[in-house]
Amino acid sequence: METRTLGKSGLKVSALGLGCMSMTSVYGPPADRKQMIDLIRAAYEHGVTFFDTAEAYGPFKNEELVGEALQPIREKIVIGTKFGFDIDLETGERRGGTNSRPEHIKQAAEAALRRLRTDRIDLFYQHRVDPQIPIEDVAGALKDLITEGKVKHFGLSEAGVGTIRRAHAVQPVTAVQSEYSLFWRQPETELLPVLEELGIGFVPFSPLGAGFLTGKIDENTKFDATDFRNHVPRFSPEARKANMALVEVVKAAAERKRATPAQIALAWLLAKKPWIVPIPGTTKLNRLEENLGATALTLSESDIKQLDESADALALEGARLPEAALKMTGL
């Protein structure tokens, strides 16, 4: 698989990474652990070298899964994980809100290293900006961890451009993670230009619109009771019905290119910038293989223009996150 470099950092990763969150939480009950270990290792065999997790997924269970799966090939891959929610590092109890106090960050790093069965974290993101802690203090803590060799690269997730600039001035930011897809294109307005200016890579999560752009979801789809999409405005039955117009746009492009809707959605992202590395998640080998097929799909400037203009003409309904979660983002 093609590799890409995240910004000016020199961090080389596969053009598509693997988001591991759904293997243990958020989209329903945890999947079978052995099957997920096999899937992660299959991803590597298919050329994936970039794996995304976080202490908050579980909490802790996802990092433990990823650590076990990748231990035999640790020297051949890149692991991104995250800190920043207020979680008891011993019990995993969620206390609500954020916690990016420098001393907590360093304790979280030590705990993540143990769970991931490694001696360094390749890319350590602040999961959400902490309004109580100056971002300069957060960047300073990461600088210390990088100096100690426990962390290789500093990342930010769902941060605004002002925060990114301030952090980058203290410790260069290698990558920023946020939602970005044909379903949610706001990063194009401010975020992408600033990342290009500063030489920072971009790692879009939910590149398939939390599954919506695959064409497998419609207004009649029933989600598991534990699936977070039950609480997301854009996944209400009414919003899904209205937003099917976007899926039809993607399906039409897929027919023209003899591809699947998921492959079109991912190829669109890959064509946007050479420093964009999407991290679609899945729990199924056939979906993994389908997603990776996007790396072999070339969209022309005309293809991209047609998708952009068709999407721009639509009035999509529903916020991308519940209101409380939106308040924790900088976008």
pTM above 0.95, yes or no: yes
What CATH code is carried by the domain that includes residue 43?
Answer: 3.20.20.100
In the prediction, which pLDDT does 331 show?
84
In the prediction, which pLDDT does 7 show?
85
Secondary structure (DSSP) of 17-46 = -EE-GGGTSSBSSPPPHHHHHHHHHHHHHT
Q: Is residue 90 part of a domain?
A: yes
Give the three-class secondary structure for 174.
strand
Residue 296: name the closest of 264, 250, 249, 273 by CA. Answer: 264
Q: Please give the tally of structural domains in the chain.
A: 1
Does pLDDT of 96 surpass 90? no
Query: How many CA atoms within 13 Å lie on the side-chain side of 3?
Result: 9
Structural domain of 148: 3-326
Tell me if residue 57 is catalytic.
Answer: yes
Task: Give 134: exposed, middle or buried? Use CB within 10 Å, 0-12, 13-18, 19+.
Answer: middle
Tokens of 213: 């752009």
| CB environment 160-189: b (16+ within 10 A), e (fewer) | bbebbebbbebbbbbbbbbbbbbbbbebee
Tokens of 93: 């109890």
Q: Is residue 331 part of a domain?
A: no
In the prediction, which pLDDT does 34 show?
98
Q: Is residue 127 part of a domain?
A: yes
| CB environment 108-123: b (16+ within 10 A), e (fewer) | bbebbbebbebebbbb
Is there a contact between 122 and 152 (Cβ–Cβ < 8 Å)?
Answer: yes
Strand partners, 125: 82, 155
Q: Is residue 126 part of a domain?
A: yes
- Which residue is catalytic, options 27, 57, 125, 180? 57
Tell me the per-residue pLDDT of 190-200, one tens digit each, with 9 for 90 and over: 999 999 999 99
Q: What is the number of other CB atoms lying within 10 angstroms of the CB of residue 86?
A: 16
Average pLDDT over residues 74-100: 97
